[in-house]
Amino acid sequence: MGKALDGVRILDFTHVQSGPTCTQLLAWFGADVIKVERPGVGDATRGQLRDIPDVDSLYFTMLNHNKRSMTLNSKHEKGKAVLESLIKACDVLVENFAPGALDRMGFPWERIQEINPRMIYASVKGFGPGPYEDCKVYENVAQCTGGAASTTGFDDGPPTVTGAQIGDSGTGLNLALGIVTALFQRERSGRGQRVMAAMQDSVLNLCRVKLRDQQRLAHGPLKEYPQYPDGQFGDAVPRSGNASGGGQPGWILKCKGWESDPNAYIYFITQAAVWPAICKVIGKEEWIEDPEYATPEARLPKLVHIFATIEEWTKTKNKVEAMDILNPLNIPCGPILSMKEVAAEPSLRATGTVVEVDHPTRGKYLSVGNPIKLSDSPSEVTRSPLLGEHTEEILKDVLGLSDAEIAEVRAAGAI
């Protein structure tokens, strides 16, 4: 079966996480992704957080599936000539270098357009135009500057970053959407275009509800926050612990075994539509009609007490038992799954969201497959390339170089 992006060729100048997540997604959709790496060095993540000596790290392998790797010194004269030919032969160039790096190599956007007017040139940067546009940025800098850290954690604790890589993988996802949208427009216009995704913007996009709450704060306390009614609100959105970001209050509650198991918890949402079912299951039927509890408005000032009461019930069940009882009652809830449990979850294996991949030097490992499922373009996850594994193949197949020409570029030290 064909793939959605068959025939699309990507010149992949990405490294670390944000850019590679984008090009990995495009590769899963069928694009031919040519990862260009510095000779002898490669993507820095190949050697970072290694679990096995001298073997590409899981950090690298889990972000670079389904790609080909070639080495090329793009600052070398002969390397620049090869790069120019690659720009002519590819549809999209993706990069996430520090600001200005591609310009310094001699390939600003204007030059790329001259070489190939159909080329889509897509970049991740930490910040968009403004005071920080020249700054290097990693994940947690984006979380801190995009509004996530100041609104995450508990009221009495410091700003907190989340374990989800919303700055890196979140921005990679946005960039991938920008690229396929630009490819779609190119079908009509015949022209390439510049695609930019800033990590700060991408994090803020995911913190939309917090900007909503910043404006609501001008009109009174945020009644679904744990600070209401007894705590204090300042002039900025506070950290809301485990409160739900929506109109249906929620909290993380202890389940049986919480004393020894750090993940024996369940997320419990007191959705208004199922309030009678909640009251019945926890043995508080009198709350169904009691005006002090019967409406969402009446419940808001008592959420701490209500969740403490529900917790007395959840503590009598393990998280799976609680889920099994609550789900048939349509009460929205979810067990806190450890990464060990996620890795072993059969349904995630069945859908290819968690996949086992074989690698020639590290052996078998688990990875996260394509989270986006297309019925006509199934994704199979193939291993990440070794450094420079496809250099000659790409120079021959994509650029049509002869053996003698390849030997010349190699002798010059450009590949």
Ligand X SMILES: CC(C)(COP(=O)(O)OP(=O)(O)OC[C@H]1O[C@@H](n2cnc3c(N)ncnc32)[C@H](O)[C@@H]1OP(=O)(O)O)[C@@H](O)C(=O)NCCC(=O)NCCS
- Listed as own residue / partner, the contacts of 364-368 with beta carbons closer than 8 Å and 24 or more positions apart are 365/58, 365/61, 365/62, 367/61, 367/62, 367/65, 368/62
Which residues, other chains included, contact 234 with Cβ-Cβ below 8 Å and sequence gap of 6+? none
Indicate the residue among 378 and 413 with the shorter CB distance to ligand X.
Answer: 413
**Cα–Cα distances in angstroms (integers) from residue 377 to residues 301, 355, 373, 374, in the given order:** 50, 17, 8, 5
Q: Considering 12, 56, 91, 168, which one is annotated as catalytic? A: 168
CA distance 63 to 25: 9
168 in catalytic set: yes
Which residue number, 42 or 226, has a Cβ lying nearer to ligand X?
Answer: 42
Measured from the CB atom, is 17 or 69 closer to ligand X? 17
- Give the CA distances from residue 345 to residues 34, 61, 301, 319, 351, in Å, rounded to whole numbers and listed in that order: 33, 21, 38, 15, 11
Measured from the CB of residue 35, what is the shortest distance to ligand X in angstroms? 10
CB of 144 to ligand X, least distance (A): 14
CB of 268 to ligand X, least distance (A): 35
Query: For residues 56 and 213, which CB has a smaller minimum distance to ligand X in the complex?
Result: 56
Instruction: Select 147 or 249, whichever has its Cβ closest to ligand X.
Output: 147
- 21: tokens are 């997540």
Strands 333-335 and 265-269 turn out to be: antiparallel
**Residues forming the site for ligand X (CB under 6 A):** 16-19, 36-38, 44, 72-75, 96-98, 101, 104-105, 124-126, 136-138, 168
Spatial CA neighbour of 306 closest among 221, 237, 243: 243
Please give the structure tokens belonging to residue 156: 């009495």
Q: Which is nearer to ligand X, 134 or 285 (CB)?
A: 134
Where b means 16+ CB within 10 Å and e means fewer, 31-44 reads bbbbbbbbbeebbe
Question: Least CB distance from residue 11 to ligand X, whole Å?
Answer: 11
Residues 6+ apart with CB under 8 A from 408: 78
Token pair recorded at residue 308: 């403490």
Minimum distance, C-beta of residue 83 to ligand X, in the bound complex (Å): 9
CB of 127 to ligand X, least distance (A): 9
Q: How far is the CB of 153 from ligand X (least distance, A)?
A: 23
- Looking at the Cβ atoms of 31 and 124, the one nearer to ligand X is 124
Instruction: Please answer whether residues 365 and 357 qualify as being in contact, where contact means their C-beta atoms are separated by less than 8 angstroms.
Output: yes
Residues 6+ apart with CB under 8 A from 364: 356, 357, 358
Helices (H), 169-271: 169-189, 199-206, 208-216
- Structure tokens belonging to residue 59: 């950090």
Cα–Cα dist 85/18, whole Å: 26
**Of the two residues 32 and 139, which places its CB atom closer to ligand X in the complex?**
139
Backbone angles phi, psi at 89, to 5 degrees: -90, -10
Q: Tell me the closest approach of the beta carbon of residue 220 to ligand X, in angstroms.
A: 39
Q: Which residues are catalytic?
A: 168
